[in-house]
Amino acid sequence: MKIIIIGNGISGITCARWLRKLGDSEITVISSETKHFFSRTALMYAYMGHMRPEDLKPYEDWFWEKNRINLLEAHVDNIDFETKTLATTQGALQYDKLVLALGSKSNKFGWPGQDLERVGGLYHWQDLENMEKYSPGLKHAVIVGGGLIGIEMAEMFRSRKIGVSMLVREASYWNNVLPAEESDMINRHIKSHHIDLRLGVNLDSIQDDGKGAAKSVIIKETQEEIPCGYVGLTAGVSPNIAFLKETGLEVGRGIKVDSHLKTNMPDVYAIGDCAELSDPKPGRRGIEAIWYTGRMMGETAAYNIMGQTVAYDPGIWFNSAKFLDIEYQVYGEVPGKLPEDMSTIYWEHSDGDKAIRINYHKTEKYIRGFNLMGVRYRHEVCEKWLAQKTPVKEVLQNLGLANFDPEFYDEYEADVIQLYNKQEGTNINLKTKRGLDRVLAFLKS
Protein backbone atom coordinates (compact mmCIF):
# COMPACT_ATOMS: atom_id res chain seq x y z
CA MET A 1 0.00 0.00 0.00
CA LYS A 2 1.32 3.44 -0.99
CA ILE A 3 0.63 6.10 1.63
CA ILE A 4 1.47 9.74 0.94
CA ILE A 5 1.50 12.40 3.65
CA ILE A 6 1.53 16.04 2.55
CA GLY A 7 3.19 18.07 5.29
CA ASN A 8 6.12 17.29 7.58
CA GLY A 9 4.97 19.02 10.76
CA ILE A 10 4.26 17.27 14.05
CA SER A 11 0.99 15.70 12.85
CA GLY A 12 2.36 14.42 9.53
CA ILE A 13 5.56 13.00 11.00
CA THR A 14 3.74 11.40 13.95
CA CYS A 15 1.43 9.75 11.45
CA ALA A 16 4.39 8.46 9.42
CA ARG A 17 6.12 7.05 12.51
CA TRP A 18 2.99 5.22 13.68
CA LEU A 19 2.28 3.90 10.20
CA ARG A 20 5.73 2.35 10.23
CA LYS A 21 5.16 0.87 13.69
CA LEU A 22 1.86 -0.63 12.58
CA GLY A 23 2.80 -2.01 9.17
CA ASP A 24 5.08 -2.31 6.17
CA SER A 25 3.45 0.14 3.76
CA GLU A 26 5.38 2.43 1.43
CA ILE A 27 5.39 5.83 3.15
CA THR A 28 6.26 9.14 1.49
CA VAL A 29 6.22 12.51 3.23
CA ILE A 30 6.09 15.57 0.95
CA SER A 31 7.01 19.10 2.03
CA SER A 32 8.07 22.24 0.17
CA GLU A 33 8.93 24.05 3.42
CA THR A 34 11.94 21.99 4.53
CA LYS A 35 13.44 18.63 3.69
CA HIS A 36 13.45 17.45 7.29
CA PHE A 37 10.96 17.72 10.13
CA PHE A 38 11.84 20.47 12.63
CA SER A 39 10.46 21.66 15.94
CA ARG A 40 8.23 24.57 14.96
CA THR A 41 7.77 25.67 18.57
CA ALA A 42 11.55 26.12 18.88
CA LEU A 43 12.01 28.56 15.98
CA MET A 44 12.36 31.43 18.43
CA TYR A 45 15.27 29.76 20.23
CA ALA A 46 17.30 29.48 17.04
CA TYR A 47 16.87 33.22 16.45
CA MET A 48 17.75 34.02 20.07
CA GLY A 49 20.95 31.98 19.89
CA HIS A 50 19.92 29.29 22.37
CA MET A 51 19.94 26.62 19.65
CA ARG A 52 21.61 26.19 16.28
CA PRO A 53 19.24 25.75 13.32
CA GLU A 54 20.35 22.12 12.98
CA ASP A 55 19.39 21.53 16.63
CA LEU A 56 15.74 22.05 15.69
CA LYS A 57 15.64 18.62 14.01
CA PRO A 58 14.35 16.10 16.58
CA TYR A 59 15.69 13.16 14.52
CA GLU A 60 19.08 12.52 12.97
CA ASP A 61 19.20 12.52 9.16
CA TRP A 62 19.73 8.75 9.07
CA PHE A 63 16.45 8.16 10.93
CA TRP A 64 14.30 8.38 7.81
CA GLU A 65 16.15 5.83 5.70
CA LYS A 66 16.44 3.44 8.63
CA ASN A 67 12.67 3.58 9.17
CA ARG A 68 11.93 3.47 5.45
CA ILE A 69 10.13 6.80 5.39
CA ASN A 70 10.72 8.55 2.06
CA LEU A 71 11.15 12.32 2.21
CA LEU A 72 10.31 14.33 -0.90
CA GLU A 73 11.05 18.05 -1.05
CA ALA A 74 8.41 19.25 -3.48
CA HIS A 75 5.33 21.43 -3.80
CA VAL A 76 1.92 19.86 -4.48
CA ASP A 77 0.14 21.88 -7.15
CA ASN A 78 -3.00 19.82 -7.54
CA ILE A 79 -4.78 16.71 -6.24
CA ASP A 80 -7.03 14.57 -8.43
CA PHE A 81 -9.08 12.66 -5.88
CA GLU A 82 -10.82 10.51 -8.49
CA THR A 83 -7.62 9.09 -9.98
CA LYS A 84 -5.69 9.35 -6.68
CA THR A 85 -2.97 11.40 -8.35
CA LEU A 86 -0.85 14.27 -7.05
CA ALA A 87 0.69 16.82 -9.40
CA THR A 88 3.93 18.00 -7.80
CA THR A 89 6.98 19.98 -8.84
CA GLN A 90 8.84 16.64 -8.89
CA GLY A 91 6.27 14.94 -11.14
CA ALA A 92 3.03 12.99 -10.74
CA LEU A 93 2.55 10.57 -7.85
CA GLN A 94 -0.09 7.91 -7.18
CA TYR A 95 -1.41 7.04 -3.75
CA ASP A 96 -3.59 4.40 -2.16
CA LYS A 97 -4.12 6.42 1.02
CA LEU A 98 -3.54 10.17 1.37
CA VAL A 99 -3.01 12.18 4.55
CA LEU A 100 -3.39 15.97 4.38
CA ALA A 101 -1.26 17.55 7.12
CA LEU A 102 -1.04 20.98 5.52
CA GLY A 103 -0.64 23.09 8.65
CA SER A 104 -1.46 26.78 8.91
CA LYS A 105 -0.55 30.10 7.37
CA SER A 106 -0.29 33.50 9.03
CA ASN A 107 -3.47 35.55 8.69
CA LYS A 108 -3.59 38.55 6.39
CA PHE A 109 -6.65 40.75 6.23
CA GLY A 110 -6.07 42.73 3.07
CA TRP A 111 -3.99 45.47 4.67
CA PRO A 112 -2.34 47.77 2.12
CA GLY A 113 1.35 46.87 2.06
CA GLN A 114 0.95 43.44 3.65
CA ASP A 115 3.00 41.78 0.87
CA LEU A 116 5.95 44.18 0.98
CA GLU A 117 9.50 43.10 1.79
CA ARG A 118 10.40 43.29 5.49
CA VAL A 119 6.96 41.92 6.39
CA GLY A 120 6.41 38.40 7.71
CA GLY A 121 4.74 36.07 10.17
CA LEU A 122 6.19 33.51 12.57
CA TYR A 123 5.08 30.05 11.54
CA HIS A 124 7.22 28.68 8.70
CA TRP A 125 10.96 28.10 8.45
CA GLN A 126 10.99 30.82 5.81
CA ASP A 127 9.60 33.25 8.40
CA LEU A 128 12.67 32.63 10.56
CA GLU A 129 14.91 33.17 7.54
CA ASN A 130 13.07 36.41 6.78
CA MET A 131 13.60 37.72 10.30
CA GLU A 132 17.28 36.77 10.20
CA LYS A 133 17.71 38.45 6.82
CA TYR A 134 16.40 41.81 7.97
CA SER A 135 17.55 41.92 11.60
CA PRO A 136 21.11 43.23 11.04
CA GLY A 137 20.95 46.99 11.58
CA LEU A 138 17.23 46.86 12.46
CA LYS A 139 16.29 49.55 14.98
CA HIS A 140 12.55 49.05 15.42
CA ALA A 141 9.89 46.47 14.55
CA VAL A 142 6.11 46.65 14.73
CA ILE A 143 4.13 43.51 15.56
CA VAL A 144 0.47 43.41 14.51
CA GLY A 145 -1.51 41.10 16.75
CA GLY A 146 -1.13 39.59 20.20
CA GLY A 147 -1.62 36.07 21.40
CA LEU A 148 1.19 33.58 21.79
CA ILE A 149 2.88 34.12 18.43
CA GLY A 150 3.05 37.88 18.85
CA ILE A 151 4.70 37.68 22.26
CA GLU A 152 7.25 35.17 20.91
CA MET A 153 8.22 37.50 18.08
CA ALA A 154 8.51 40.42 20.50
CA GLU A 155 10.83 38.40 22.75
CA MET A 156 12.93 37.41 19.73
CA PHE A 157 13.48 41.01 18.65
CA ARG A 158 14.11 42.24 22.20
CA SER A 159 16.79 39.55 22.63
CA ARG A 160 18.78 41.49 20.02
CA LYS A 161 18.02 44.89 21.57
CA ILE A 162 15.63 45.78 18.74
CA GLY A 163 12.82 48.13 19.72
CA VAL A 164 9.30 46.73 19.46
CA SER A 165 5.81 48.21 19.22
CA MET A 166 2.82 45.86 19.45
CA LEU A 167 -0.57 46.74 17.99
CA VAL A 168 -3.31 44.74 19.75
CA ARG A 169 -6.93 45.28 18.82
CA GLU A 170 -8.27 43.99 22.18
CA ALA A 171 -8.60 46.37 25.13
CA SER A 172 -6.33 44.08 27.15
CA TYR A 173 -3.79 41.50 26.01
CA TRP A 174 -5.36 38.21 24.83
CA ASN A 175 -8.49 38.93 26.87
CA ASN A 176 -10.56 36.78 24.53
CA VAL A 177 -8.72 33.83 26.13
CA LEU A 178 -7.30 34.98 29.46
CA PRO A 179 -9.45 36.10 32.40
CA ALA A 180 -9.16 39.80 33.20
CA GLU A 181 -6.63 39.49 36.04
CA GLU A 182 -4.20 37.32 34.07
CA SER A 183 -4.58 39.52 31.01
CA ASP A 184 -3.74 42.60 33.07
CA MET A 185 -0.70 40.80 34.50
CA ILE A 186 0.59 40.18 30.98
CA ASN A 187 -0.03 43.84 30.04
CA ARG A 188 2.22 44.91 32.91
CA HIS A 189 4.82 42.28 32.16
CA ILE A 190 5.10 43.24 28.48
CA LYS A 191 5.58 46.90 29.34
CA SER A 192 8.20 46.02 31.97
CA HIS A 193 10.28 44.53 29.15
CA HIS A 194 10.36 47.92 27.38
CA ILE A 195 7.88 46.90 24.70
CA ASP A 196 5.60 49.64 23.38
CA LEU A 197 2.23 47.92 23.88
CA ARG A 198 -0.65 49.66 22.08
CA LEU A 199 -4.03 48.27 23.16
CA GLY A 200 -7.35 48.79 21.41
CA VAL A 201 -5.83 49.75 18.07
CA ASN A 202 -5.84 48.30 14.56
CA LEU A 203 -3.46 48.40 11.62
CA ASP A 204 -4.55 50.69 8.82
CA SER A 205 -1.70 50.17 6.35
CA ILE A 206 1.98 49.37 5.91
CA GLN A 207 3.88 52.11 4.12
CA ASP A 208 6.24 51.46 1.21
CA ASP A 209 9.75 52.93 1.33
CA GLY A 210 9.64 53.39 -2.45
CA LYS A 211 11.75 50.28 -3.01
CA GLY A 212 9.12 47.67 -2.22
CA ALA A 213 9.90 47.33 1.50
CA ALA A 214 8.09 48.39 4.67
CA LYS A 215 9.19 51.67 6.25
CA SER A 216 6.35 52.33 8.72
CA VAL A 217 2.81 51.46 9.78
CA ILE A 218 -0.26 53.66 10.15
CA ILE A 219 -2.61 53.10 13.10
CA LYS A 220 -6.22 53.11 11.94
CA GLU A 221 -7.83 54.90 14.89
CA THR A 222 -5.38 57.82 15.17
CA GLN A 223 -3.57 57.80 11.80
CA GLU A 224 -0.32 57.88 13.79
CA GLU A 225 2.68 56.70 11.78
CA ILE A 226 5.22 54.44 13.53
CA PRO A 227 8.55 54.17 11.66
CA CYS A 228 9.93 50.62 11.52
CA GLY A 229 12.19 48.37 9.50
CA TYR A 230 10.13 45.21 9.95
CA VAL A 231 6.44 44.38 10.39
CA GLY A 232 5.44 41.12 12.04
CA LEU A 233 1.96 39.83 11.17
CA THR A 234 0.84 37.69 14.12
CA ALA A 235 -2.93 38.16 14.07
CA GLY A 236 -3.53 34.43 14.31
CA VAL A 237 -3.25 31.64 11.78
CA SER A 238 -5.70 29.80 9.54
CA PRO A 239 -5.67 26.42 7.75
CA ASN A 240 -3.42 26.31 4.69
CA ILE A 241 -6.03 24.92 2.31
CA ALA A 242 -6.60 27.56 -0.37
CA PHE A 243 -5.60 25.27 -3.28
CA LEU A 244 -8.22 22.70 -2.25
CA LYS A 245 -11.30 24.93 -2.13
CA GLU A 246 -12.25 24.36 -5.77
CA THR A 247 -12.04 20.56 -5.48
CA GLY A 248 -14.70 18.15 -4.31
CA LEU A 249 -13.15 18.02 -0.85
CA GLU A 250 -15.53 19.29 1.81
CA VAL A 251 -14.05 22.34 3.51
CA GLY A 252 -15.22 24.94 6.00
CA ARG A 253 -12.58 26.95 7.79
CA GLY A 254 -10.52 23.78 7.52
CA ILE A 255 -10.83 20.37 5.87
CA LYS A 256 -13.91 18.69 7.29
CA VAL A 257 -13.23 15.34 8.98
CA ASP A 258 -15.27 12.84 10.98
CA SER A 259 -14.32 11.37 14.36
CA HIS A 260 -11.88 9.01 12.60
CA LEU A 261 -10.25 11.94 10.75
CA LYS A 262 -11.62 10.81 7.39
CA THR A 263 -12.63 13.39 4.80
CA ASN A 264 -15.53 13.03 2.36
CA MET A 265 -13.09 11.71 -0.25
CA PRO A 266 -12.30 7.98 -0.32
CA ASP A 267 -9.02 7.04 1.41
CA VAL A 268 -8.20 10.66 2.27
CA TYR A 269 -7.55 11.85 5.83
CA ALA A 270 -6.78 15.28 7.28
CA ILE A 271 -4.91 15.99 10.52
CA GLY A 272 -3.37 18.83 12.49
CA ASP A 273 -3.97 22.54 12.00
CA CYS A 274 -5.74 22.09 8.66
CA ALA A 275 -8.37 19.63 9.94
CA GLU A 276 -11.78 20.76 11.14
CA LEU A 277 -13.81 18.24 13.14
CA SER A 278 -17.42 18.18 11.94
CA ASP A 279 -18.62 17.18 15.41
CA PRO A 280 -16.06 18.23 18.04
CA LYS A 281 -16.28 17.06 21.65
CA PRO A 282 -18.32 19.29 24.00
CA GLY A 283 -16.32 22.32 25.01
CA ARG A 284 -13.75 21.81 22.22
CA ARG A 285 -13.35 23.66 18.93
CA GLY A 286 -13.48 22.17 15.46
CA ILE A 287 -9.95 23.47 14.76
CA GLU A 288 -7.31 23.43 17.48
CA ALA A 289 -3.89 24.52 16.21
CA ILE A 290 -2.04 23.02 19.17
CA TRP A 291 1.12 20.89 19.08
CA TYR A 292 -0.16 18.04 21.24
CA THR A 293 -3.48 17.69 19.42
CA GLY A 294 -1.60 17.52 16.12
CA ARG A 295 0.50 14.69 17.55
CA MET A 296 -2.62 12.86 18.78
CA MET A 297 -4.30 13.25 15.39
CA GLY A 298 -1.26 11.81 13.64
CA GLU A 299 -1.33 8.66 15.76
CA THR A 300 -5.12 8.29 15.47
CA ALA A 301 -5.06 8.62 11.67
CA ALA A 302 -2.32 5.96 11.42
CA TYR A 303 -4.44 3.43 13.30
CA ASN A 304 -7.46 4.11 11.10
CA ILE A 305 -5.43 3.91 7.88
CA MET A 306 -4.12 0.52 8.98
CA GLY A 307 -7.64 -0.78 9.60
CA GLN A 308 -7.77 -0.42 13.38
CA THR A 309 -10.80 1.79 14.03
CA VAL A 310 -9.99 4.44 16.63
CA ALA A 311 -11.98 7.61 17.31
CA TYR A 312 -10.04 10.81 17.86
CA ASP A 313 -10.34 11.98 21.47
CA PRO A 314 -8.27 15.02 22.51
CA GLY A 315 -9.08 14.45 26.18
CA ILE A 316 -9.12 17.30 28.66
CA TRP A 317 -8.10 20.70 27.32
CA PHE A 318 -4.51 21.65 28.03
CA ASN A 319 -2.12 24.27 26.76
CA SER A 320 1.18 25.73 27.87
CA ALA A 321 3.29 28.64 26.69
CA LYS A 322 5.52 31.43 27.91
CA PHE A 323 4.89 35.17 28.11
CA LEU A 324 8.48 36.40 28.18
CA ASP A 325 9.53 35.34 31.74
CA ILE A 326 6.09 34.08 32.85
CA GLU A 327 5.32 30.43 32.27
CA TYR A 328 1.66 29.69 31.48
CA GLN A 329 -0.37 26.50 31.91
CA VAL A 330 -4.09 25.90 31.54
CA TYR A 331 -6.07 22.73 32.26
CA GLY A 332 -9.80 22.22 31.72
CA GLU A 333 -12.31 25.07 31.63
CA VAL A 334 -10.85 28.54 32.14
CA PRO A 335 -12.86 30.91 29.92
CA GLY A 336 -12.10 34.60 29.61
CA LYS A 337 -15.47 35.41 31.15
CA LEU A 338 -16.81 33.31 34.01
CA PRO A 339 -20.13 31.59 33.18
CA GLU A 340 -23.00 31.68 35.69
CA ASP A 341 -22.53 28.07 36.82
CA MET A 342 -18.83 28.51 37.68
CA SER A 343 -17.00 29.97 40.65
CA THR A 344 -13.32 30.79 40.86
CA ILE A 345 -10.47 31.28 43.30
CA TYR A 346 -7.81 33.69 42.09
CA TRP A 347 -4.58 34.16 44.00
CA GLU A 348 -1.84 36.51 42.83
CA HIS A 349 1.59 36.92 44.36
CA SER A 350 2.59 40.34 45.63
CA ASP A 351 5.39 40.50 43.03
CA GLY A 352 2.71 40.60 40.31
CA ASP A 353 4.08 37.83 38.08
CA LYS A 354 2.72 34.64 39.65
CA ALA A 355 -0.92 33.60 39.90
CA ILE A 356 -3.09 30.53 40.53
CA ARG A 357 -6.71 30.32 39.39
CA ILE A 358 -8.90 27.34 40.25
CA ASN A 359 -12.39 27.12 38.73
CA TYR A 360 -15.13 24.91 40.16
CA HIS A 361 -18.84 24.28 39.72
CA LYS A 362 -20.76 26.88 41.68
CA THR A 363 -23.35 24.55 43.23
CA GLU A 364 -21.93 21.03 42.87
CA LYS A 365 -18.45 22.17 43.95
CA TYR A 366 -16.37 19.90 41.69
CA ILE A 367 -13.18 21.03 39.97
CA ARG A 368 -13.41 22.43 36.44
CA GLY A 369 -10.17 24.18 35.55
CA PHE A 370 -6.71 25.46 36.51
CA ASN A 371 -4.93 28.56 35.17
CA LEU A 372 -1.32 29.00 36.24
CA MET A 373 0.99 31.96 35.66
CA GLY A 374 4.59 31.61 36.79
CA VAL A 375 3.68 28.45 38.72
CA ARG A 376 3.90 24.91 37.40
CA TYR A 377 1.55 22.02 38.28
CA ARG A 378 1.79 18.33 37.40
CA HIS A 379 -0.17 17.52 34.26
CA GLU A 380 -1.21 14.01 35.32
CA VAL A 381 -2.48 15.17 38.71
CA CYS A 382 -4.60 18.03 37.32
CA GLU A 383 -5.95 15.82 34.55
CA LYS A 384 -7.03 13.11 36.99
CA TRP A 385 -8.83 15.57 39.23
CA LEU A 386 -10.66 17.07 36.25
CA ALA A 387 -11.55 13.72 34.69
CA GLN A 388 -13.00 12.46 37.98
CA LYS A 389 -14.80 15.74 38.76
CA THR A 390 -13.06 15.74 42.13
CA PRO A 391 -14.67 17.96 44.79
CA VAL A 392 -12.80 21.26 45.04
CA LYS A 393 -12.42 20.76 48.81
CA GLU A 394 -10.52 17.51 48.22
CA VAL A 395 -8.38 19.14 45.52
CA LEU A 396 -7.42 22.01 47.81
CA GLN A 397 -6.61 19.72 50.73
CA ASN A 398 -4.24 17.78 48.46
CA LEU A 399 -3.01 20.64 46.32
CA GLY A 400 0.59 19.86 47.25
CA LEU A 401 0.35 16.79 44.99
CA ALA A 402 0.11 19.10 41.98
CA ASN A 403 3.17 21.18 42.82
CA PHE A 404 5.68 20.23 40.14
CA ASP A 405 8.90 21.39 41.73
CA PRO A 406 8.49 22.18 45.45
CA GLU A 407 12.17 21.40 46.09
CA PHE A 408 13.20 24.45 44.07
CA TYR A 409 10.28 26.87 44.32
CA ASP A 410 8.06 28.27 47.04
CA GLU A 411 4.68 26.73 47.70
CA TYR A 412 1.52 28.80 47.68
CA GLU A 413 -1.14 26.17 48.44
CA ALA A 414 -1.89 27.51 51.93
CA ASP A 415 -2.58 30.99 50.51
CA VAL A 416 -5.01 29.55 47.95
CA ILE A 417 -6.85 27.57 50.66
CA GLN A 418 -7.11 30.64 52.84
CA LEU A 419 -8.79 32.50 49.97
CA TYR A 420 -11.25 29.65 49.44
CA ASN A 421 -12.11 29.47 53.15
CA LYS A 422 -12.83 33.18 53.20
CA GLN A 423 -14.86 33.01 49.99
CA GLU A 424 -16.94 29.92 50.89
CA GLY A 425 -17.03 30.23 54.70
CA THR A 426 -15.24 26.91 55.21
CA ASN A 427 -12.31 25.84 57.35
CA ILE A 428 -10.32 23.28 55.37
CA ASN A 429 -6.60 22.66 55.77
CA LEU A 430 -3.80 21.44 53.53
CA LYS A 431 -3.19 17.71 53.97
CA THR A 432 -0.77 16.35 51.39
CA LYS A 433 2.30 18.43 50.65
CA ARG A 434 5.63 17.30 49.24
CA GLY A 435 6.81 13.86 48.20
CA LEU A 436 7.07 12.16 44.83
CA ASP A 437 6.07 8.88 46.46
CA ARG A 438 2.73 10.39 47.43
CA VAL A 439 2.22 11.69 43.90
CA LEU A 440 2.88 8.27 42.40
CA ALA A 441 0.56 6.60 44.91
CA PHE A 442 -2.19 9.09 44.03
CA LEU A 443 -1.82 8.50 40.29
CA LYS A 444 -2.02 4.71 40.79
CA SER A 445 -5.12 4.94 43.01
Over residues 178-191, mean pLDDT: 97
- Any bridge partners for residue 92, and if so which? 87
pLDDT, residue 105, reads 93
Give tens-digit pLDDT for 14-47.
999 999 999 999 999 999 999 999 999 999 999 9
- Any bridge partners for residue 348, and if so which? 355
CATH of the domain at 168: 3.50.50.60
Quick one: DSSP state of residue 281? P
Question: Do 198 and 253 lie in a common domain?
Answer: no
Report d(CA 88, CA 28) in Å as an integer.
Answer: 13
Give tens-digit pLDDT for 290-337.
999 999 999 999 999 999 999 999 999 999 999 999 999 999 999 999
Question: Do 427 and 390 lie in a common domain?
Answer: yes
Question: Do 132 and 166 lie in a common domain?
Answer: yes
- Give the gyration radius of the chain's Cα atoms: 24
Give tens-digit pLDDT for 343-387.
999 999 999 999 999 999 999 999 999 999 999 999 999 999 999
Which residues form the domain of 281? 2-105+238-305
Q: Is residue 436 part of a domain?
A: yes
Q: Is residue 111 part of a domain?
A: no
Q: Is residue 110 part of a domain?
A: no
Report residue 146: phi and psi, to 5°.
-110, -125
Give me the DSSP letters along 345-381: EEEE-TTSS-EEEEEEETTT-BEEEEEEES--B-HHH
Specify the number of domains making up the chain: 3
CATH of the domain at 440: 3.30.390.30
Domain boundary residue, one of 235, 263, 286 = 235
Q: In what order do the strands lie in the sheet with 91-94?
A: 76-80, 85-88, 91-94
Q: Is residue 11 part of a domain?
A: yes
